[in-house]
Structure 1
Amino acid sequence: MLDDISRFRRFSRAVTSEVGALDTSFLGRGRPLGAARVLNAIGHGRTDVAAVRAYLGLDSGLMSRLLRGLEDEKLIKVTTDPDDARKRRATLTARGQKEFQAYEHLSDGRAQDLLVKYPHPETLLEAMDLVASALGREKWILEECDPRDPAARYCLEEYYGELNRRFDGGFDVSLSCDPDATDMIRPRGCFLVAMSDGLPLGCVGLKGTDKGYAEIKRLWVSPAARGMGLARRLMAEVEDIARDLNIDLLRLDTNSALPEAVRFYQTGGWTEIDRFNDDPYPDFFFEKAL
């Protein structure tokens, strides 16, 4: 049997081959993967050169060579930031935009071909999400947004779907207090979404009330990121926001069908209290003084 290191290296070889990392002409467009990735990042709106370099994890020397090559091909234009002369910005030319679109079409087709070949594409995608989340862990971003925004709605729908599968009798959000999360918007509260390179990985809401406390609601982490500390990051951030809003007491509730959530709160500085609402679903109640 293969040991752990051998399995990891087997995986690395398979991915290297699949993504064309060693090709001198990535997807047949005449340039290697590195240059194509820089073009892709710029095409997706990352115009700050330093931000592109950080996003791709490139050293400054290689980044400069790749930019020069793309400039020589007249695919990009590099200029000084008009608001900060220390920064450089890269934008696609008309020719670069066409090349970017060609890569997008070819990349989408390559992904589709792989998924069609695999007998259980959803299982494969779940494994890909897990690997991408783990490898990109240092680049997770917590963003504050309106709970009605697309990324927030994605997380909430995934959260409701999981509750529906795990609760006896299912789950209907319309029976909960504030089903539209309208109290999770400043200045009463807030809503946070964790993002990993465009994929929403988790969320949490801070619901303002007029009862002398605020509530933590809808803490959810994708299966692709569980066990990696994301829930604690979300909770720490939302608690900091609560302090900024001059909230000094938080409460939350959960259900015994979610034993991992119960343990999380029991070990996270929360104190179990008596029921404080008439929501039909929870049977555990906690509070925390800030």
Structure 2
Amino acid sequence: MVTWRDSLPSNESALTLLDQYFTARAADFPAGPDAYRRAQPLDAQFAPPHGVFLLAEGENLSGEPADIGCGGVRRIDDGPHGSRFEVKHLWVQPHARRLGVGRALMAELERRAADLGAAELVLDTNDSLEQAAALYRSLGFSQIEPYNDNPNATTWLGKQLTPG
């Protein structure tokens, strides 16, 4: 079972998970590890009412309770559909993948963004992250025009949210 804990990116557990995320992305980055640009998220961007950062609590490899994933949403400039929030730093530890943790985390982030007033949820990704892109598309995200200049991104996706 997975539960959620509100956090800030500077929380010790969040920093550990973010370091795992950044290290894995750099190691697998198509242009090489030196080309990957690491961007540490700022607490102020992921604190209500501007956003939220979540830790996914599950079990580590030994079966003990542990933080096994993270992700956040933050408000960015409004888009064509109104208030726009961006999904950032979605990460699930390898041992917890293919168990629905990423899907559940995305659903919770979408719910939280809607609660904060989001009319649209957007994200950027790299074409090398095929499983992530497949997850996003299965959740209703579709390709949109680039909304930022993230040098790590090759694809931008968006999803309109229904008012709650």
Q: TM-score range, shorter-chain basis? A: 0.7 to 0.9
* Matching residue of 1:32: none
Question: Is 1:258 matched up with 2:129?
Answer: yes
- Residues 37 and 152, structure 2, Cα contact 8 Å, conserved in 1: no
In 2, Cα distance between equivalents of 1:159 and 1:280: 17
Cα distance, 1:180 vs. partner? 2.9
Q: Deviations over 1:243-272 (max 9, x none)?
A: 111111110000011111111112221011
Alpha-carbon separation, structure 2, partners of 1:200 and 1:181: 20
Does the C-alpha gap of structure 1 residues 210 and 273 become closer, same or farther in structure 2, counting only changes over 3 Å? Answer: closer
Residue 172 of structure 1 corresponds to which residue in structure 2?
37
Read off the aligned partner of 2:32 and give its amino acid letter.
G
1:32-75 Cα shifts (integer Å, max 9, x gaps): xxxxxxxxxxxxxxxxxxxxxxxxxxxxxxxxxxxxxxxxxxxx
SS at match of 1:157: helix
Deviation track 1:77-115 (CA, whole Å, cap 9, x = no partner) reads xxxxxxxxxxxxxxxxxxxxxxxxxxxxxxxxxxxxxxx
Write out per-residue CA displacement over residues 177-235 of structure 1, whole angstroms, 9 at most, x where no aligned residue.
xx333311111000011112442111111011233311001111101100000011101
What SS does structure 1 have at the residue aligned with 2:121?
A: strand
In the alignment, which of 146, 149, 153 is matched to residue 11 of structure 2? 149
1:181 aligns with 2:42: yes
Could you tell me which runs of 5 or more consecutive residues in structure 2 were left unpaired when the two chains were aligned: 59-63
- In the alignment, structure 1 segments of 5+ residues that lack a partner are 1-137
More strand by percentage: 2
Q: Distance in 1 between matches of 2:22 and 2:115?
A: 29
Mapped to 1, the partners of 2:148 and 2:77 lie a distance apart of 13
Give the TM-score taking structure 2 as reference length.
0.85
Aligned to 1:194: 56
CA distance in 1, matches of 2:120, 2:153: 19
> Are the aligned partners of 2:88 and 2:123 in contact in 1 as well (CA < 8 Å)?
yes
**Where does residue 97 of structure 2 map in the other structure?**
226
Query: 1:274 is matched with which residue: 142, 145, 152?
Result: 145
Question: Quick one: distance in 2 between partners of 1:227 and 1:180?
Answer: 26
How many aligned residue pairs are there?
A: 148
Q: Which amino acid aligns with 1:159?
A: Y
- The answer (yes or no) to whether the contact 1:154–1:200 under 8 Å persists in 2 is no
Between the two proteins, what is the percent identity of the paired residues? 32
Query: The residue matched to 2:9 in structure 1 has which SS?
Result: coil
Give the distance between the partners of 2:124 and 2:38, measured in 1 at CA: 15
After superposition, where does 1:1-290 map in structure 2 within 5 Å?
A: 138=1, 140-167=2-29, 168-170=31-33, 171-174=36-39, 179-182=40-43, 183-196=45-58, 197-211=64-78, 212-290=83-161
| CA RMSD, 1 decimal | 1.3
Whole-Å Cα distance in 2 between the matches of residues 220 and 289 of structure 1?
23
**Within 1, Cα distance between the matches of 2:114 and 2:145?**
24
Return the letter of the residue paired with 1:283: T
Secondary structure of the 2:135 match is helix
1:74 corresponds to: none
Larger radius of gyration: 1
Q: Which runs of 4+ in 1 moved over 4 A?
A: none
